[in-house]
Structure 1
Amino acid sequence: MSTTHVLWWDFSHPGRLWALLIIPALVIAYLVIMRFARNRGIRYTNTGIVGAVVPRQRQWHRHVCVALTLCSLATITGAWAVPVGDTKVPRERATIVLVLDVSQSMMAADVDPSRFEAEKSSAVSFVSSLPAAYNVSLVTLSGHPNTLVPPTVDRGVLIQAINSLSLQDGTAIADSITDGLAALKQAPAGDDGTQAPGLMVLLSDGSETSGGDPVAAAQQAAAASVPINTIAFGTQNGYVDLDGERFNVAPDTNLLAQVASTSGGRALDASSSDELNTVYKDLSSDMGYETQKTEVTARWVLVSLMFGVVAAFGAVGMAARWS
């Protein structure tokens, strides 16, 4: 079942919109007629007699009726041009690549109980919330990214893999995106032989440390029509102690925002477990729909009818005053 929320309008026959030029012509004609009527009224100096013979009408009443009639004409012209709206409809199938950061910085405890534990818990909830028909793949983000689970509909395998994640060295964001794109190609084709739309969710709490170019990788994703939704996880004050040294491990929000915008995805932030769960719920809801072109002529006709009915009532009211 599809939703009817229209995001944008276009027209299948925009050339027909030239008919709208009749509206300014009618406005000019109306103004000329009104001016002529005022000039003609000046000839009658005995206004008392005129008032007794001709019922007085409110000028605004007449103007409103004319305006509503013109609005009706405009909307019916738009309907004639066959309006097409971008509507959100449920996505029947998709392949989601979940890229989870398992670098050492994820041991930071600025998120309760730790970034790593919060990441795993939220990822399990996210995977469980996705439609059963969606294939999901799990890619680990470290110095050596790995496709831990190829695209599958088996949520049990995914949840087990997420819970068994362990920390590793390094943060190769660019390579993890490349691995994610490769994982998408492993997704089974549908009954019609085509691949399902691919989407990527990348959570990271750090910066690129392996010398790759995440933005260039995001460009490859954009070329493959794979939007990357990034989640910058953690606070700016997060730190870890390694080899007797303390390191600040603030998420690189600017880099992740670039990756998201370049690929056509969304850039989101989360600095707590609750915020991360909220972000995942938002993404889950958004991924359940896709935008399609749908004809919405009936809506325009309905609006035109509403304008026309109100204008007709106004015209009947004016005619009753003259009778």
Structure 2
Amino acid sequence: MEFANKEYFALLLLLVPYVVWFLLFRKKSEPTMRVSSTEAYRFAPKSWRQRIVHLPIVLRCLCFVALVCVLARPQTYNAWDNKSVEGIDIMMAMDVSTSMLAEDLKPNRLEAAKSVAAEFIAGRPNDNIGLTIFAGESFTQCPMTTDHASLLSLLGSVRTDIAARGIISDGTAIGMGLANAVSRLKSSKAKSKVIILLTDGSNNMGDISPMTSAEIAKSMGIRVYTIAVGTNKVAPYPVPVAGGVQYVNMPVEIDTKTLADIAATTDGSAYRATNNRELSQIYKDIDQLEKTKMDVKRFSKRYEAYMPFALAAFVLLLSEILLRVTVLRRIP
């Protein structure tokens, strides 16, 4: 913590004449009573009120100190922080086509994938992680970052009906989603570069085939872990109808062979998830990836930190007033 207006600390010098006045002249202004001898009171025990008789002046001085600190504008320290941590570079490529609305995983495939991915991200605080989403086309939802709070926020904003509402064209462009993720890792200098590709269908859109993207990933030293999501036969799919939602059984058509070939080409692994538990276990397995050293630069913003001092001044002043008008009240 530092103070923006340090010159205000010069006001603390005013405490010196105030304390001197209190010690030398305060008693002269107080009422007195003459007695012939005070010998009888010499060894009398002191009450607790006598022991705290000077506490109000101490509280008053501390209150003044706190107010001076407020005027000096305390602020948090503002600087770049460089340090080396253990981590890898990961891009998550997630299918958001309308078929991800199927509810064979709970509450549906996409929400289950988002929930498990969020746990995965939270468990790897030192990794550079980014997010690419794809349906009939692909775009980067979040570039690689160690600011996982922002990443989780962007992950949470991915809607289950993003393709259904026409924001992006529907379909499953696995090759485009993988190519987009590869493009984000091409300039990475990390020892280990990984893509986690999650989909529930087969490639039917896009200008780049999945295997072409896999070959490009291999040439760049990127390992791809593929996850095929969905039950083995049919899955309940919600269809809006007048006054509600009707469920129809949608056949599950996942090109597991292509996903396995992508993983094999890039020295990764292919997984199959038919329920939430299996999906969660897959991410736990991937969590055992090797780690490498990387430099992280963090920036902390400056903000005003006067509130604790202002609160302390208020409490001290209130305590001093209460003591002076109650237990330490003097008559006359």
> TM-score per shorter chain, which class?
0.5 to 0.7
Q: Match of 2:214?
A: 218
DSSP-derived class of the 1:227 partner: strand
State the distance in 2 between where 1:272 and 1:248 align. Answer: 16
Higher helix fraction (1 or 2): 1
State the distance in 2 between where 1:136 and 1:147 align. Answer: 12
Maintained 8 Å contact 1:97/1:199: yes
Maintained 8 Å contact 1:108/1:239: yes
State the distance in 2 between where 1:111 and 1:100 align. Answer: 15
Is 1:258 the equivalent of 2:258? no
Q: Measured at CA, do residues 230 and 217 of structure 1 come closer, stay the same or move farther in structure 2, by a change above 3 Å?
A: same
State the distance in 1 between where 2:144 and 2:96 align. Answer: 20
Q: Match of 2:200?
A: 205
Q: Measured at CA, do residues 260 and 115 of structure 1 come closer, stay the same or move farther in structure 2, by a change above 3 Å?
A: same
Structure 1 residues 246-270: Cα deviation after superposition (integer angstroms, max 9, x where no partner) = 6423322112111111111100111
Please give the root-mean-square deviation of Cα atoms over the aligned residues, in Å.
2.3
How far apart are residue 225 of structure 1 and its match?
0.6
How far apart are residue 242 of structure 1 and its match?
5.9
The TM-score normalised by the length of structure 2 is: 0.54
Maintained 8 Å contact 1:151/1:186: no
DSSP-derived class of the 1:286 partner: coil
State the distance in 2 between where 1:200 and 1:177 align. Answer: 8
Q: Match of 2:55?
A: none
The TM-score normalised by the length of structure 1 is: 0.55
Is 1:275 the equivalent of 2:270? no
How far apart are residue 238 of structure 1 and its match?
2.1
Structure 1 residues 245-294: Cα deviation after superposition (integer angstroms, max 9, x where no partner) = 8642332211211111111110011111111111101101134489xxxx
1:174-189 alignment runs, 5 A limit: 174-185=175-186, 187=188
Q: Match of 2:44?
A: none
Structure 1 residues 92-142: Cα deviation after superposition (integer angstroms, max 9, x where no partner) = 331100111111110001112211111111110011111x22100100021
1:1-323 alignment runs, 5 A limit: 92-130=86-124, 132-166=125-159, 167-168=162-163, 169-185=170-186, 187=188, 194-211=189-206, 212-236=208-232, 237-240=234-237, 247-288=250-291
Q: Which runs of 5+ in 2 are unaligned?
A: 1-84, 164-169, 242-247, 294-332
State the distance in 2 between where 1:216 and 1:242 align. Answer: 35
Structure 1 residues 177-209: Cα deviation after superposition (integer angstroms, max 9, x where no partner) = 11101111465xxxxxx4453111011111111
Q: Measured at CA, do residues 115 and 287 of structure 1 come closer, stay the same or move farther in structure 2, by a change above 3 Å?
A: farther
Maintained 8 Å contact 2:95/2:199: yes
State the distance in 1 between where 2:240 and 2:106 align. Answer: 23
State the distance in 1 between where 2:235 and 2:152 align. Answer: 27
Structure 1 residues 217-261: Cα deviation after superposition (integer angstroms, max 9, x where no partner) = 101101111010001111122253669986423322112111111
Maintained 8 Å contact 2:197/2:226: yes
Maintained 8 Å contact 1:240/1:249: no
Q: Match of 1:82?
A: none
Q: Which runs of 5+ in 1 are unaligned?
A: 1-90, 188-193, 291-323
State the distance in 1 between where 2:290 and 2:96 align. Answer: 24
State the distance in 2 between where 1:280 and 1:171 align. Answer: 22
DSSP-derived class of the 1:201 partner: strand
State the distance in 2 between where 1:199 and 1:241 align. Answer: 34
Maintained 8 Å contact 1:106/1:114: yes
Structure 1 residues 155-187: Cα deviation after superposition (integer angstroms, max 9, x where no partner) = 111111111102322211101111101111465
Q: Aligned residues: percent identity?
A: 32
State the distance in 2 between where 1:118 and 1:98 align. Answer: 15
Q: Match of 1:293?
A: none
State the distance in 1 between where 2:282 and 2:109 align. Answer: 15
Structure having the higher Rg: 2
State the distance in 1 between where 2:259 and 2:216 align. Answer: 15
Maintained 8 Å contact 2:102/2:235: yes
Number of positions where the alignment pairs a residue of Structure 1 with one of Structure 2: 193
State the distance in 2 between where 1:147 and 1:206 align. Answer: 20
Maintained 8 Å contact 1:141/1:172: yes
State the distance in 1 between where 2:230 and 2:250 align. Answer: 14
Q: Match of 2:12?
A: none
Amino acid at match of 1:138: L
